Structure 1
Amino acid sequence: MSSYLRPAVAPPVFRDDDGRVIKYGRRWVDSPPADSYSVSRNPERFAPLHTIADALIDHLLAEYDVEADDGIEVAADLIHPHPDVVRAVRIRPRDPACAALTFVFTGYPGILLHAGVLHDFFYPSCGCEACDEEWSAEADDLEQQVLAVVTGNYRESTRAGRPPWIESETVFPNGSSSSQSRGEDVPPERLAAAIHALTARTGAWAPWPPAPRG
């Protein structure tokens, strides 16, 4: 099985009003200026994320025993609908013990990733000037999340409550990330189906099986 390699991407360049290159990701030494919050300029800087997502999809299709659904309708996998979907691709391992992944391309541009049954991940997570996100760091996070799911390092669970608690944990080579939220933000029918799917699951989703050769 070949390893995933990020495709070559020409980094987009943007300049400020004085003609200086904007160094996204390292502009604010201290706190961001007050007028940078909730303001999104040059969102096109995230366009390479679409290229990265395409490369990840190609890698998954070539290396794993999966099926793909390519169509706007699979964006319905997202927990909450998004108004600006331009493409969506669901990658389903043939083994039901594995978590599926749905890549949703937005016109912003950005990528929304639905993993398993209950969780969505956003790239970029915000995009405002104050957050000062930069495309290659977002690509790092997207690649790491996808590859963690594929290698069986992603866990989802629910915990009893009214409404139930929803939990996830992703283990990366250099650490882990976890989240916890209340199920009241999930449509009731989606939550019920997810609880049913996760009831017998005490550990992580299984690693994806490799594609058959020969």
Structure 2
Amino acid sequence: MSSYHRPPIETPVFRDAEGRVIEYGNRWEGSPPTDAYSVDTHPERFAPLHTVADALVAHLAETYDVRITESADVATDLLRQSTPVVRALRIEPNDPRCAAITLAYTDFPGIVMHAGLLHDFPFPVCGCDACDSTGEYEVDELERHVFAVVGGRYRESVHEGPAPWVGYSLEYPNGSTSGRSPAGEGLPAAQVEAARPILRVLSDGWAAWPRRAAVDS
């Protein structure tokens, strides 16, 4: 069985228009300037996301009992597509109790990860100068999300009521995250309806991915 190792990542020096080094992740002591919200000075700092996504796919294919489909068609798994997708792969465990993952490589560059039935996770969420995210931080987040799903630490839910909403939770070794949104906010109604009975059965969350059976040499 393979053990995942992050591939080497180059961290180039980025400079502003005056030639000064930009310290992404540590640019603003207080609130960022208003005009920084509409600028993406060096989106190429997120290019390592593509390299790491490749390594994750290779690791998942070697380690877990999955089937992988690479096709432009699987990008339709994404609930929202606002950035052109240049490559897309769906990684599906052969156990239906496990959440599938689709990785869409965007030309920003970035990765949008669709997990399970009703949730997309973009990396970066926003690459503008004001958000001041780094490539390394986004890579960390992508890996954390992927391995939370693979490890069976991912739960989705649809909550009924006058204002129904969908939610998710992810658990990591050093913390957790969760979110919720109105069921009708950008989600196809048919997709939500189809997810209801599946997630009702999976009330304790998606199962951990089974590992690939060892092959005697």
What TM-score range do you get, normalising by the shorter chain?
Answer: over 0.9
The alpha carbon displacement at 1:161 in A equals 2.3
Q: Distance in 2 between matches of 1:203 and 1:102?
A: 22
Match of 2:115 in 1: 115
TM-align CA RMSD: 1.2
Q: Which runs of 5+ in 2 are unaligned?
A: none
- For the 8 Å contact 2:169–2:177, the answer to whether it is kept is yes
The DSSP-based 3-state class of the residue aligned with 1:184 is: coil
Q: Distance in 2 between matches of 1:13 and 1:195?
A: 48
Match of 1:15 in 2: 15
Q: Distance in 2 between matches of 1:125 and 1:114?
A: 13
Q: How does 1:35-74 map to 2 (within 5 A)?
A: 35-74=35-74
Q: Which runs of 5+ in 1 are unaligned?
A: none
The alpha carbon displacement at 1:32 in A equals 0.7
The alpha carbon displacement at 1:83 in A equals 4.4
Q: Distance in 2 between matches of 1:114 and 1:163?
A: 24
Q: Distance in 2 between matches of 1:45 and 1:119?
A: 25
The alpha carbon displacement at 1:164 in A equals 2.2
TM-score, structure 1 as length reference: 0.96
The DSSP-based 3-state class of the residue aligned with 1:199 is: helix
The DSSP-based 3-state class of the residue aligned with 2:80 is: coil
Match of 1:202 in 2: 203
**Aligned AA (1:116):** G
Give the aligned length.
Answer: 214
> Is 1:95 aligned with 2:74?
no
Match of 1:33 in 2: 33
Q: How does 1:120-135 map to 2 (within 5 A)?
A: 120-135=120-135
| Identity score, percent | 51
**Aligned AA (2:156):** E
The alpha carbon displacement at 1:147 in A equals 0.4
> Is 1:191 aligned with 2:192?
yes
Q: Distance in 2 between matches of 1:31 and 1:165?
A: 32
Match of 1:104 in 2: 104
The alpha carbon displacement at 1:162 in A equals 4.0
**Aligned AA (2:123):** Y
Q: Distance in 2 between matches of 1:66 and 1:163?
A: 37
Match of 1:6 in 2: 6
